[in-house]
Structure 1
Amino acid sequence: MATMQTELIPHVTLGTQGFQVSKMGFGCMGLGGAYSDLLPEQDGISIIKYAFSKGITLFDTADVYGVDGGNEILVGKALKQLPREKVQVATKFGIARSDDSASLKRLDVEYIDLYYQHRVDTSVPIEDTVGELMKLVEEGKVKYIGLSEASPDTIRRAHTIHPITAVQMEWSLWTRDIEDEIVPLCRELGIGIVTYSPLGRGFFGGKGVTENVSAVSSLATHPRFQAENLDKNKSLYDRIESLAKKHECASAQLALAWILQQGHDVVPIPGTTKIKNLDQNLGALAVKLSEEDMREISTVFSIDDIAGGRHYDGLDQSSWTWQSANTPPKV
């Protein structure tokens, strides 16, 4: 049985180089209208400031989020109203942008705490990419290097060139494919794991079940939110809701607590545009699950019962335009 406990957000260390972050981060992509209507800039800044006031210090963005780098610009404006030395900003590169500006300029900061390659360019050796990133570390423009959605072989090869501090992957109760190889490898190498979409893109908060998916949301094309699949997945939501009642918490809190307690090297970055949802997410830190609870949740919410793949329909990485590693990333 779970126990409830109030506490400040603890800090954990990602990687082997001393990078400390809050145990829960904040994913900023949704502030740019990815899942709903575009949030007014001041509202986006306010929610980032509110998250910081509650103890969240890791904020995650990317150069491709928002229109013309708008998400990085928004995050940068919020950072101006926070003590920079107490905030860790993570951003990503790798998918070529239409403009020629750089992340450091859009964020308006002197350095990026954690810089990820957003998606691996298979046409360029990862050793070359990490070699270029090393130069940015040496120049003081980047503190720590990360990879996103990388294979075990790529992670291992990259780590031989320069320590990889964190690997960002999708991980939640309904996306578990990193558990067999990626998680053990990261622990072998001492690499932190940052998990995006830990609430199943809002599903565990009721998206598509108790709350309709917006017509402008990117979820409208996600396989798991398509009518036939969604009908099947609703039964899974009922299961997690039943377990949540047992543990006297919300479904989203139970799903998030399950990720939070996967290990000290795991940092989820749920995002939201609503203060009430952020407060609910923070409440997951107070849900304490025993090993028996963790096993029960994993068993009851069987990955084999999930309908639909985790990738968006029509998402073909081979058609993306990559930023070549032979040209230094425009930080």
Structure 2
Amino acid sequence: MQQRTLGTQGLKVSAIGFGTMGMTMAYGEGSSEADAIATIRAAREAGVTFFDTAELYGGGTGSNEQLVGKAVKPFRDEVVIATKFGFDMEVEPLGSGVDSRPKRIREVTENSLRYLGVDVIDVLYQHRVDPDVPMEDVAGTVKELIEEGKVRWFGLSEAGPENIRRAHAVQPVSVLQTEYSVFERQVEADVLPTVRELGIGFVPYSPLGRGFLTDDVRPAAEYPANDMRSWDDRWQPGNYERNLAAVEQLKQLAATKGITTGQLALAWLLAQGDDIVPIPGTRSAKRAVENAAAADITLTASDLETIREALPQGGYGSRYPEPFMPKG
């Protein structure tokens, strides 16, 4: 698979990465350990070298990071592992409270090193901006961790232009991770221009619209309560039908090219710039290989225009309920 450079500090990864959140949370019952490991290793066989986890994904237990650590152990030196700090794991509902105090950053980092079974974390992200902790303190703490050899590269997630600049002035930021897809394009207004001005790479999460940009979509009522699609605004009556109609247009375009809708959506992201590396997640080894193959797809100007026409302003419905909305 082709490699892409994120930032100017030496971070190089495969053009398509792999997000592991769905293996342990957010999308119903998680994968078995054996299936999850098999899926991650299938992605690696397909050329993926960038694997994304977080403290949050294990609910504070380390389960997701342990899973990633076990899966990549045979080829640890061939891959880049990213993990994240920044949520308060004691606040309910989980994911609604933040904590980026320097002491907490260090605690999470030590836990992540242990859970992953590694000597150094390749990319350490602040998962969400903490309005009660100056960004300079956050960046300064990560800078110390880099100097101590515990972290290689600094990343931010869902940070806005001001916080990106403040962090970057203290410790160069290699990569920003934020939701971006043909469904969600708010970053195009000011976030993408900011990271490009500063030479920071961009990692879109939920590049398949949390599954809406695939060939397997059902109404919200058909998902279990522990699946976020049961309450996601894009799946609710009214929005669901409008989004489904738009995706049907994408599906037809994909069919003319002999690819899946998901591959089309990933290829669209890759076409937005060489500084972009999406991290689709899946529990299926077959889908992991399919996603990786999107790196070989080239879209024409006509294809890109057709996609824009299908979703001129992105998808319909908000991307998070208010308690979970990022405040970067």
Shared fold, TM over 0.5: yes
Q: Which residue in 1 is equivalent to 2:138? A: 129
In the aligned structure 2, how far is the partner of 1:75 from the partner of 1:267?
19
Residue 190, structure 1, aligned to residue 199, structure 2: yes
Pick the structure with more helix per residue. Answer: 2
> CA-atom RMSD, angstroms?
2.0
Identity of aligned pairs, percent? 43
Contact 1:240 1:301 in 2 (8 A): no
Residue 78, structure 1, aligned to residue 87, structure 2: no
Q: CA deviation at 1:48?
A: 1.0
Structure 2 residue runs of 5 or longer lacking an equivalent are 91-103
Letter in 1 for 2:171: H
The farther-off stretch of 129-138 and 306-315 is 306-315
Change in 2 beyond 3 A, CA 1:210/1:10: farther
Change in 2 beyond 3 A, CA 1:132/1:314: closer
Change in 2 beyond 3 A, CA 1:222/1:229: same
In the aligned structure 2, how far is the partner of 1:293 from the partner of 1:141?
44
Change in 2 beyond 3 A, CA 1:317/1:163: closer
Structure 1 residue runs of 5 or longer lacking an equivalent are 1-8, 319-331
Count matched residues.
308
Of residues 22, 29, 43, the one that matches 1:51 is 43
Letter in 1 for 2:36: G
The farther-off stretch of 257-266 and 281-290 is 281-290
Letter in 2 for 1:165: S
Q: Which residue in 2 is equivalent to 1:114? A: 123
Q: CA deviation at 1:210?
A: 9.0
In the aligned structure 1, how far is the partner of 2:75 from the partner of 2:286?
24
Q: Which residue in 2 is equivalent to 1:169? A: 178
Contact 1:223 1:313 in 2 (8 A): no
Once the two structures are superposed, what CA deviation does each residue of 1:110-144 show, in whole Å capped at 9, x if it has no partner? Answer: 10000000000011110111001100000000000
In the aligned structure 1, how far is the partner of 2:62 from the partner of 2:75?
23
Q: CA deviation at 1:230?
A: 0.9
In the aligned structure 2, how far is the partner of 1:22 from the partner of 1:44?
20
Q: TM-score, normalised by structure 1?
A: 0.88
In the aligned structure 1, how far is the partner of 2:262 from the partner of 2:318?
21
Residue 88 of structure 2: SS of its match in structure 1?
Answer: coil
In the aligned structure 2, how far is the partner of 1:234 from the partner of 1:71?
31
Residue 296, structure 1, aligned to residue 288, structure 2: no
Q: Show the 5 A alignment for 1:10-49.
A: 10-49=2-41
Residue 260, structure 1, aligned to residue 270, structure 2: yes
Q: Which residue in 2 is equivalent to 1:179? A: 188
Residue 273 of structure 1: SS of its match in structure 2?
Answer: coil
Once the two structures are superposed, what CA deviation does each residue of 1:197-236 show, in whole Å capped at 9, x if it has no partner? Answer: 0000010113434995344312211111123321221111
The farther-off stretch of 208-217 and 252-261 is 208-217
Contact 1:22 1:56 in 2 (8 A): yes
In the aligned structure 2, how far is the partner of 1:138 from the partner of 1:77?
27
